[in-house]
Structure 1
Amino acid sequence: MPQPIPLSSRIRGAIYGLAVCDALGAPVEFKPRGSFERVTSMLPNDNFGLPAGCFTDDTAMTLCLAHSLLDCGGHSNMIDQVKKYISWWQNGYMSSTGSCFDIGVSTRSALQTWADMLHLQSRGEDSPVQDAHSAMLAKITHEFSKDEYCGNGSLMRVLPAALIASSASNVVELAKESSLPTHPHLRCVHACMIYASLVQQLLNGASKTELAVSLSESINEIPSNISDTPIEAVLSERIGRYRSIQDWEQTTADSIRSTGYVVDTLEAALWAFFNSDTFEQAALQAVNLGYDSDTVGAICGGIAGTYYGFDAIRQDWLRDLKKKELLDEAAQEIIDHRNKLP
C-alpha cells in the first residue's frame, strides 16, 4: 500500500508542477496540435528567444498572488495583488528572465487601466482611499465583464488561493476575489472557484474518483461546495456533462480544445489530469495539446503536482527549470503559513 503523501510534498508539487508544465509547454505555445514534434523535455522557447526551462506569465503571476496572500496574512487584498502584477509587468518581478516577455491581451489592458487609476489616486484625490479603490474595481468590472474578456488569465494564477486558504469556504472566497482585478466575468470567476476547490480537496487526500464526483456535484447541484447560486451557464453546460471519472476517460483528445478561452482551458487541463496515471503522463498530455499549451500545462501541472506530490516530477525537468529559488521561497513560505493555521 503506498505511503500517504505529506502536505509539504503536495504544496511543493503544486508550485513546481505548475512551473514545470508552464516551461514545458511554452516553446510550442501558439502552435496547432500535431504541427510539432511531441514534447518530452525542456526545449528552448523560440517564440521569445529564451533558453530551455523558462517559465512564463502563468508562473510569474501565480508567484505574485502567492506573495500577496502571504504578505497579507492569508487574506485577499486586491490592490496589493494588482501592484504586484504591475511590478511583474513593468519591472520583471517574479519573472524567470528578469523581465515580462509574455502577457495576455486582457491582462495587459486591465493592468494598464489599474496603473492609470492608481497613478491618479497617488496624485492626491480627495476621496477616501477605500472609496477610491472601490470605484476602481467598479470601473474594471464594468469594462472587463464582456464575453470577449473570458480568457484564462485569472485561472492560470489562482493556485495559491487553494494552497494558502484556511478552510474550504475561504478557498472559494480567495479564488473569487483573485479573479476580479483582471477577469471579473462570472465565467472566469466560477472557473477559478471550481479549480481552487478541486486543488484544496486534493490537499486533503481526495482520490481522482472522488474528485470527479465532487466536481459534478459542484456544478449540477445547488447549493454546492462552490456556490449557493448556479454556476455560470456556459461553464456549467461544458463541464457539467462530466458526471464521473469514466466520462473524462471516455472523452477523446479530438474533442478537447486547448485555446486561451477559460472554458476550453479548464476542460483541457482537467481532461489531461483525469486521463493519466502519473505526473509525467498528465504533463505530456496537457502540453502536447498545442495552442495555449503553456497555460493548459500550468493549470494541469498545478493540480497534478498536488495529487502526485513533488517527488513524482521528473528530475531532468526540475534540473532544467530556471529560477527555482523563486519557487522554493514561495513553497516554503506557504508551508510555514499552513503550519501556523489552527
Structure 2
Amino acid sequence: MTPTPTRLSRTIGALLGVHAGDSLGATLEFAPWATIRSSYPTGLRSIIGGGPFNWPAGHATDDTDLTRAVLLAYRDGSAATATATASAAATTAAATTAADFDVVRAAADYMLQWYGGAWPGRTAGTPPVDIGNATVLGLRRYRASGDPRRAGAGAGQAGNGSLMRCVATGLFRAEREKRVRESMEISAVTHDDRRCTVSCAAYNEMVFALLAGRTPEEAVEAGLDLVGELDCKPVEEAINRGRLLQLQEIVEDGPGDELPGRAAGYVLESLILAVAAVLDPRPLVDVLVDVVRVGSDTDTNGAIAGGLLGVRDGAEALPEEWKEKLQFRKEFEEVALKLVESRES
C-alpha cells in the first residue's frame, strides 16, 4: 500500500507537477491530437525538450516561469512576517512592513521581471518567446499604471494564462477569505475575466483540500461550493463537465463536443481537463501523459493538471528521471520546505 504523502511531499508535488506537466507538454505544444497519436501512439513519456520553441529538456516555459513568480511572492511575504516576529523586540517598522506586504503587487513585479528578461535562463531586455496576448496586455498596463488590480486585459480575454500559474496561493494561504481573494486578484493582474478569476479560486480550493488530505471527489466539491458562492455558472458547468469526462476515451477517440475548442487555450477547457485528471484514479504519470495526448495547448494543460495531480499523489509519484531534468527543481523544493516549516513553527 502506498503511504499517504506528507504535507511537504504534497506541496513539492504540486510545484514540480506544474513544472513536469509544462516540460512534458512543451515538446508537443500546438500539435493536434491526430499528430500526437501518430508520433506517440501511447503518449510521450519522457521529458525531451524541443517543440516549436526548441526548449532544452526540462526548461521552464511561461507556465512554470509565472508559477515561480507567484511562488516567490509568497516566499517574500513569509520572510517579511518572519522578520517582524523574530523576537518580542521586533520593531514597529518591521511589523508594519509585514502587515503592509502586498503579495499581489509582489507577484506582478516578479512577472514584470520575467517579461523584461531579468530571469534565470534569459537575457535581460529580451521578451519571452512564449507569452499569451492577455499576459502581454496586462503586464504592459501594470508597468504603465503601477496598479496591479487595474491592469487586466478585460472581459472577453478568457485564456488559461492565469490558471496555469496560480497554485502557490492554494498551497500557502490557509485562510479561506485571503486564499479566494488573492487567487482572484493575482489572476486579474493579467486575466480579469470572471471565468479566469473564479477558475483560479476554485482550482486553489481543490489544491487546499487535497493538501489537507481530502479525497479528489471532496476536493472537487470544495471547488464547486466556492463557485456556487461566487455565482459563476460557466465555471460551475466546466467543473461538472470535468467530473463526467473520461480522459482515456478522449485520448483514444480525440476531443469532440466535450472540448469544442480542442483544449487550445480556453481557461474553462483547461479546467475541465484538470478536473477529469485529478478524478482519474490511475497513477500520476499515466494521467499526465494522457492530458498531453489530448493535444493543442499541451504545456499549459499539462501544467494545470500536473499541479492537482502532484498535490494529490505527492512528489514521490513523479519519476526521478523527470524531476532531475526540471530547471527549477532545487529552488521549488527549497522554497516549499521553508514555507511549510514556517507554517508549522
Match of 1:186 among 187, 194, 199: 194
* Identity rate, percent: 26
Aligned residues: 309
Match of 1:161 among 169, 173, 177: 169
- 1:123 matched to which residue of 2? none
Taking structure 2 as the reference length, what is the TM-score of the superposition? 0.82
Match of 2:34, SS?
coil
Q: CA deviation at 1:183?
A: 0.8
- 1:137 matched to which residue of 2? 149
Match of 1:35, SS?
helix
Residues 145, 184 of structure 1: 8 Å contact kept: yes
Q: Which amino acid aligns with 1:54?
A: H
Q: State the alpha-carbon separation in 1 of the partners of residues 334 and 45 from structure 2.
A: 27
Residues 20, 322 of structure 2: 8 Å contact kept: yes
Q: Which amino acid aligns with 1:163?
A: L
Taking structure 1 as the reference length, what is the TM-score of the superposition? 0.83
Alignment of 1:108-119 (within 5 A): 108-118=136-146
Residues 151, 188 of structure 1: 8 Å contact kept: yes
Residues 18, 303 of structure 2: 8 Å contact kept: yes
- 2:340 matched to which residue of 1? 335
The answer to whether the aligner puts 1:230 opposite 2:223 as a matched pair is no
The answer to whether the aligner puts 1:146 opposite 2:155 as a matched pair is yes
- 1:104 matched to which residue of 2? 132
- 2:276 matched to which residue of 1? 271
With 154-163 and 321-330 compared, the bigger mean Cα shift is at: 321-330
Residues 239, 275 of structure 2: 8 Å contact kept: no
Match of 2:310, SS?
helix
- 1:30 matched to which residue of 2? 30
With over 3 angstroms needed to count, the CA separation of the structure-2 counterparts of 1:261 and 1:250, relative to structure 1, is closer
Q: State the alpha-carbon separation in 2 of the partners of residues 57 and 89 from structure 1.
A: 10
- 2:114 matched to which residue of 1? 88
Q: CA deviation at 1:315?
A: 1.5
- 1:9 matched to which residue of 2? 9
With over 3 angstroms needed to count, the CA separation of the structure-2 counterparts of 1:55 and 1:237, relative to structure 1, is same
Q: CA deviation at 1:166?
A: 2.2
Q: State the alpha-carbon separation in 2 of the partners of residues 69 and 158 from structure 1.
A: 11
With over 3 angstroms needed to count, the CA separation of the structure-2 counterparts of 1:212 and 1:115, relative to structure 1, is closer
Match of 1:320, SS?
coil
- 1:121 matched to which residue of 2? none
Q: CA deviation at 1:65?
A: 0.6
The answer to whether the aligner puts 1:316 opposite 2:321 as a matched pair is yes
> How big is each residue's C-alpha offset from its partner over 1:240-298, in whole Å with a ceiling of 9 and x where there is no partner?
456xx5x3448941333312111111111222232241110121011111111111100
With 287-296 and 330-339 compared, the bigger mean Cα shift is at: 330-339
Residues 277, 305 of structure 2: 8 Å contact kept: yes
Q: State the alpha-carbon separation in 2 of the partners of residues 241 and 298 from structure 1.
A: 20
Residues 76, 174 of structure 1: 8 Å contact kept: no
Q: Which amino acid aligns with 2:116?
A: Q
Match of 1:67 among 47, 68, 72: 72
Q: State the alpha-carbon separation in 2 of the partners of residues 5 and 145 from structure 1.
A: 40
Q: CA deviation at 1:96?
A: 7.9
- 1:18 matched to which residue of 2? 18
- 2:217 matched to which residue of 1? 209
> How big is each residue's C-alpha offset from its partner over 1:53-88, in whole Å with a ceiling of 9 and x where there is no partner?
112111111111111122123864322221110101
Q: State the alpha-carbon separation in 1 of the partners of residues 130 and 342 from structure 2.
A: 30
Residues 58, 327 of structure 2: 8 Å contact kept: yes
Residues 184, 198 of structure 2: 8 Å contact kept: yes
With over 3 angstroms needed to count, the CA separation of the structure-2 counterparts of 1:259 and 1:21, relative to structure 1, is same
Q: State the alpha-carbon separation in 2 of the partners of residues 19 and 95 from structure 1.
A: 15
Q: State the alpha-carbon separation in 2 of the partners of residues 302 and 195 from structure 1.
A: 10
Runs (5+) with no aligned partner, structure 1:
119-132
- 2:95 matched to which residue of 1? none
